[in-house]
Amino acid sequence: MNSALSYSDISDQELYLQTTIKLAKKVIKINAATIAGSPEKPNEDAFAAAYDDTVLFAAIFDGTTSLKPIPALDKQTGARFASHFLKNTFHEVKSAASPKELMLELNKKLLQATSKFDGASIEDTHTLPSSTGTIIKIDTTKKTVTFAHVSDSFGIAYYNDGHSVLFTDDRNSAFDDKIFTLIDLIATEKGISHREARDDKRVKKALIHMFIERNNNPNGKGCGVINGDPQVEQYIQTGTFPLQDVKAILLATDGLTPIGWSEKNRKDQQKLFEEVLDGNFKKLLKTKKQSEDADPDWNYIRYKHSDDATGLFIEF
């Protein structure tokens, strides 16, 4: 398939791209952006798109923190390796594949690559680089949108009549909520800010427990991550909806949403739409950064001051 919006890994600290493609008789405009949360740290998010005459595949990936160090990667984090490997392998997709089949194939290829690393093993999945992921397939022949999704990135469909639908779930939020409750408790106990409480030893210990409990837990009570573990299959959310009357689709990593907004809120979904439509992601990312800087003590509890952010906006 043809790659769309391809970019070099060395140029993604702050990147804005756009293109227009034609599928059958349907013209599709794609805007994309990715930005690192901090200028001093590499971007652990990525996006990808590939198409042929009638089909468009698009995806976003958000690398997740490794529980154990991966010496073979030297200074590169497992999160960055995973998201960028998935991005760079994405164009190998076959047009007949479903998003779930593609996600499982990418999961398999990631394991093939990382199993060669010293110390990395499927027997201990916490030694494997991992990433979240949301993949969609727009088929203009069948006039459908299908998707496969794991973890806390998200997808929103916007319709010609003005309403919008969040079509992805977030199985990771329940785990985050437990950590955020702990951070709030520590802040209250010590009379310190949430930002200071984030560095408490109890939080670090709870995060380790969370990774073990969450990542592709065989008991089905965790949350999926793409890391080579076949257990991810039970956590892949899939779905199909008609392409008819869809005006646009937004795919985003969780860091794209400004502080105080929620992709689950219909009004905030519309605000996301309007910001991107008005400024091709630059306006939205500026709003995001301003919201973070306006909350230096992290009254809105989070893991870091500013997370990496990535979005794909597909207009029909």
**Structurally, how many domains does the chain consist of?**
1
Element (H or E) spanning 208, and its range?
Answer: helix 201-214
CATH number assigned to the domain comprising residue 35: 3.60.40.10
In a domain, 213, yes or no: no
In a domain, 200, yes or no: no
Its domain, for residue 285, covers 2-170+224-315
In a domain, 99, yes or no: yes
Question: Percentage of the chain surpassing pLDDT 90?
Answer: 89
**Mean pLDDT, residues 216-243 taken together:** 97
Predicted pLDDT at 18: 96
Res 314 pLDDT > 90: yes
Res 83 pLDDT > 90: yes
**Mean pLDDT, residues 74-96 taken together:** 94
In a domain, 186, yes or no: no
Report CA dihedral (18, 22, 27, 33) to the nearest 10 degrees.
Answer: -20
C-alpha 90, offset from chain centre: 15
In a domain, 189, yes or no: no
How many CB atoms neighbour CB 257 within 10 A? Answer: 24
Res 280 pLDDT > 90: no
Residue keyed to tokens 């479903």: 98
**Mean pLDDT, residues 10-34 taken together:** 95
Q: Is the dihedral of CA 248, 43, 257, 62 positive or negative?
A: positive
Round to whole Å and give the CA distance between 112 and 173.
30
Span 166-196, pLDDT tens digits: 999 999 999 999 999 999 999 999 999 999 9
Residues in the chain: 316
Predicted pLDDT at 279: 80
Predicted pLDDT at 72: 87
In a domain, 279, yes or no: yes
Average pLDDT of the chain to the nearest whole number: 96
Question: Percentage of the chain surpassing pLDDT 70?
Answer: 100
Taking alpha carbons only, the member of 28, 19, 27, 22 closest to residue 52 is: 22
Span 115-159, pLDDT tens digits: 888 878 888 888 899 999 999 999 999 999 999 999 999 999 999
In a domain, 204, yes or no: no
Predicted pLDDT at 146: 98
In a domain, 207, yes or no: no
Round to whole Å and give the CA distance between 15 and 12.
5
Angle at the Cα of 150 (from 165 to 237), degrees rounded to 5?
Answer: 60
Please list, residue by residue across 140-166, b when 16 or more beta carbons sit within 10 angstroms of its beta carbon and e when fewer do.
beeeebbbbbbbbbbbbbbeeeeebeb
Cα within 13 Å of Cα(271), Cβ side? 17
**pLDDT range class, residue 71, cuts 50, 70, 90:** confident
> What is the value of pTM for the model shown?
0.96
Element (H or E) spanning 154, and its range?
Answer: strand 154-159
Res 20 pLDDT > 90: yes
Res 69 pLDDT > 90: no
Predicted pLDDT at 131: 98
